[in-house]
Chain A
Amino acid sequence: MLIFLARRLFQAVLVMLAVAFIAFALFNYVGDPIDSMVGQDTSLADRQQLRQELGLNDSFVVQFARFVGHAARGEFGLSYQQQRPVAQIILERMPATLELSFVSAALALALGVPMGIYTGLHRGSWLSQGLLGLSLVGVSLPTFLIGILLILVFSVDLKWLPSFGRGSVVHFGWWTSGLVTRDGWRAIIMPSVTLALFQMTLIMRLVRAEMIEVLRTDYIKFARARGLSNRAINFGHALKNTLVPVITVAGLQLGSIIAFAIITETVFQWPGMGLMFIQAVSSVDIPVMAAYLMLVGFFFVIINLVVDLLYHVIDPRLRIDREQVGIG
């Protein structure tokens, strides 16, 4: 187990270095940050001096090495635009994104799994057909369109929910939460539904397919022949055996939710990290972009690790395999 963890941590470091390298290679193509930092009257000499101070005249290798050296110490420099430490900006923005992501993921699981079980067990029913039809809409409509439609109906026409922002938030140390105020809950409804819709349909279809697959297997037939109750068969045996792929996908999707909250955050002006990243791209704020990409890479690495560990808990076969590999 320890060897496994150590190996995974080593891989994680390699992944992070690769992310940093690719990110830096891309920054050569996003444009010149100086123009969005100074006014039109600023002289060429002053621009050149600023470029020098920011280290933009150095070669790619030097810039990359400097970044990795600072990042290893947890320093990401000052945002070009906001002129304050990037780490501070990210800490301010992280709660908004994490709250939105977890509410969305909870929504997707709480609705997606039961819907998947239902449609798997009652394949022919009209409700199943209806849910499957609706899920097609969920996967095919782009997020920004769903977001705008929700805003038009619930903000502009009905005036029930706010069209932008996070509502009022409460501070707990450095963490800010909108989940403890009525205002905050009203604000999170539309963004979380928008973000959850795709994941929910994905989970529903996955659970359904797995259920159908498992229900066909011999041990389920045998369990039926033994006269176990439907409830025991469906939930005690069938559902449990569908969970390995569901956990894998749900786990990785949590990473995607955090990473792809960008579009939802843009539509609802949700003050999270995704919005921060988009704004950084448009103004070529390299320190912010670099730190964000590293952080998202880090999230994916952690989530993968947790998913792998969860396998061990759920599936006894994997434990045996690993131990054999360890001995061999």
Chain B
Amino acid sequence: MVTGRSWFRCCTAFALAAMLAFGAQAQTRIFRWSNDGDPTTMDPQARSDGFVTSFDMNMYEPLVRRDRNLKLEPALATEWSLISPTTWRFTLRHGVRFHDGSPFTADDVVFSFQRALATGSDVAALLSSVKDVQKVDDYTVDLITEGPSPILPNYLVGVAMMSKKWCEAHDATRAAPHEDKENYATRHEDGTGPFILKDRQPAVRTVLVKNPDWWGLKDWPIDFDEVVFTRIANPATRAAALLSGELDMVYNVPLQDVARIASTPGMKIWQTPELRTIFLGMDQSRPELLESSVKGKNPFKDKRVRQAFYQAIDEDAIKVKVMQGFARPTALMVGPGINGFDPALDTRFPYDPAAAKKLLADAGYPNGFEVGFDCPNDRYVNDAAICQAVVAMLARIGVKADLLAQTKAKYFGKINAPAYDTSFFMLGWTPTPLDALNMLSELASTRSGDAREGVYNNGGYSNPALDQLIKQIEVELDSKRRNALIGKALSIVKNDFAYIPLHQQIVVWASRDNIDLAQLGNNDFQWRYVKLK
């Protein structure tokens, strides 16, 4: 057995050896980090996925982006304004160059929007309101929308500007492979951003170097030369690699490792409420539930049943026991950080199994009933465990929920459009533009036949008064009146028990304690804020 003292000696000797070995390279400062996912493509328009977009936006830049407090700030556009109800005008930044040295101008902007709107691009959905892109002069561009689109800039955060010349030279004018040939932009880049791709081994290792000519260096000086990203899918290995000093920063951190990392000297845990809301939904549209003991009618059409489910669930217990404190119970379908969130409305109906039982009896189900319950088991933090807790809580009011917890690839295919093959389900939602309107139109609008509204309204909730209100919000340009309308809409959703909101997860990252960074609630990781000290 090795004693503590000799361990210490071993370590010191090793550390000295390491210092000698690496002393020669001490000038290159490297930031090494890891995540469980991989940015599957370097083409910023091929995937509209939180992690991929966040990663790629360190090489590319949008016109408008979010700062460390999630406020919109100028990126490649220095100013933007509504010059008519359907025209947004953007003034471009001067003196910006792509990584290959060519200048950034309005032609690139027009090209980038055309590419983003074309087939193969996954960011086209962000621009669904855009009708046309027009160059006014070399540094001015107009975006013309179908109708008034007050939150268009929020969507532009996800649309990267690419070089027209580079894309054309490399046959990458579409964000997709054609004729089974790889799209050049999948493993190469030519952005304007703070980091330049140096080496890309998909799903293994990606190395980037600082862009010494980045226009933003004076505002966000970067004190390291290289970023090395490694995908480590196994959570235990990821945590071990941080603790052993092989990494400077990791996310996501599994909740069971938080205490261990926090108690290790030299390590630091970062946490902030996520913008995603976790909630339960109920099928309120079918005349008879697909999976239930109740035949001939749909119990969830009765608001009292929905309220009974709500009040039978003890969210505080879920927060403490299942989420180990890393959750923020919520009464609204949007959380803090989303425009339209109103703290005054954010009070939950109380947990009250007795009242719930009475509501069920009043609705005609004194002995409860049986219902199928769909959950993912690899999508949200402790998702299957939350659902198991809900099953136990509902059992107390006589409801037997038959839990089907399965992998996200199977689960989403079952509960989402077009199948909507569910009676009772769990889902999480982050409004992409960080505005409550997106939640309202996707989750609470009556499902329309043309699949434009209420696509994720998996329960088929429908309230014509709310639909009217949402139409008003869509075109209201005055932000004060708009937010008042949103508040009204959020109240309707809440008081109708359209959904059972549970919580916002807490995002947990971990790093060495001499690292500074900006942790955003939408899991966006912008390396320009990283300081190695």
Contact = CB atoms under 8 A, between A and B. Distances in A.
B139 interface: no
Interface stretch (A3-11, A15-23, A244-252, A271-279): A271-279
A170 interface: no
Interface in B108-164: 119, 122-126, 128
Contacts of B204: 165, 271
Interface string B225-238: 00000111110110
Residue of B11, B241, B409 with most partner-chain A CB within 10 A: B409
B417 A157 contact: no
Contacts of B41: 82-83
Interface string B86-128: 0000000000000000000000000000000001001111101
A83 B179 CA distance: 12
A158 interface: yes
Given A163-B246, A271-B201, A83 B241 contact: no
A144 to B, nearest CB: 8
23 contacts: A30-B409, A31-B408, A38-B47, A40-B48, A43-B451, A43-B452, A45-B451, A46-B124, A81-B40, A84-B202, A85-B182, A151-B244, A155-B240, A163-B237, A163-B246, A164-B237, A165-B204, A165-B230, A266-B233, A269-B230, A269-B231, A276-B203, A283-B409
B10 interface: yes
A84 B187 contact: yes
A45 B450 CA distance: 9
A31 B413 contact: yes
The binding surface of chain A is classed by DSSP as loop
Given A38-B48, A45-B451, A163-B237, A78 B409 contact: no
Interface in B205-254: 205, 230-234, 236-237, 240-241, 243-246
B167 interface: no
B221 to A, nearest CB: 30
Contacts of A152: 240
B387 interface: no
B120 to A, nearest CB: 9
A32 B240 contact: no
B410 interface: yes
B186 A82 contact: yes
Task: Sort A-B residue pairs by CB-CB distance and give the 7 closest, nearest first.
Answer: A31-B409, A39-B48, A32-B413, A41-B125, A84-B182, A31-B410, A155-B244
B418 A36 contact: no
A251 B176 CA distance: 43
Contacts of B202: 82, 84, 89
A95 interface: no
Contacts of B180: 75, 77-78, 85
A282 B407 contact: yes
Interface residues of B, number: 59
A49 B46 CA distance: 15
A159 B11 contact: yes
B402 interface: no
A260 interface: no
B240 A36 contact: no
A91 to B, nearest CB: 13
Contacts of B47: 37-39
Contacts of B432: 39-41
A125 B236 CA distance: 40
A164 B378 contact: no
Given A31-B413, A38-B48, A269 B7 contact: no
A121 to B, nearest CB: 32
Contacts of A81: 40
A32 B48 contact: no
B457 interface: no
B186 A163 contact: no
A52 to B, nearest CB: 12
B44 to A, nearest CB: 12
Contact of A282 (B128, B378, B452): B378
A156 B240 contact: yes
B122 A39 contact: yes
Nearest to B185: A83
Nearest to B183: A83
A151 B205 CA distance: 20
Contact of B246 (A164, A267, A282): A164
B417 A82 contact: no
A136 B180 CA distance: 50
Nearest to B408: A35
Nearest to A283: B409
Contact of B48 (A41, A45, A164, A165): A41
Nearest to B231: A269
A49 B409 CA distance: 19
Interface in A118-138: none
Contacts of B246: 155, 162-164
Contacts of B40: 81-83
A33 interface: yes
Contacts of B201: 92, 271
Residue of A159, A160, A163 with most partner-chain B CB within 10 A: A163
Given A89-B202, A271-B201, A151 B48 contact: no
A155 B247 CA distance: 12
B14 interface: yes
Interface in A263-295: 266-269, 271, 275-276, 278-279, 282-284
B230 A82 contact: no
A279 B203 CA distance: 9
A1 interface: no
Given A164-B241, A276-B203, A36 B409 contact: yes
A324 interface: no
A282 B411 CA distance: 12
Given A38-B122, A85-B180, A267 B49 contact: no
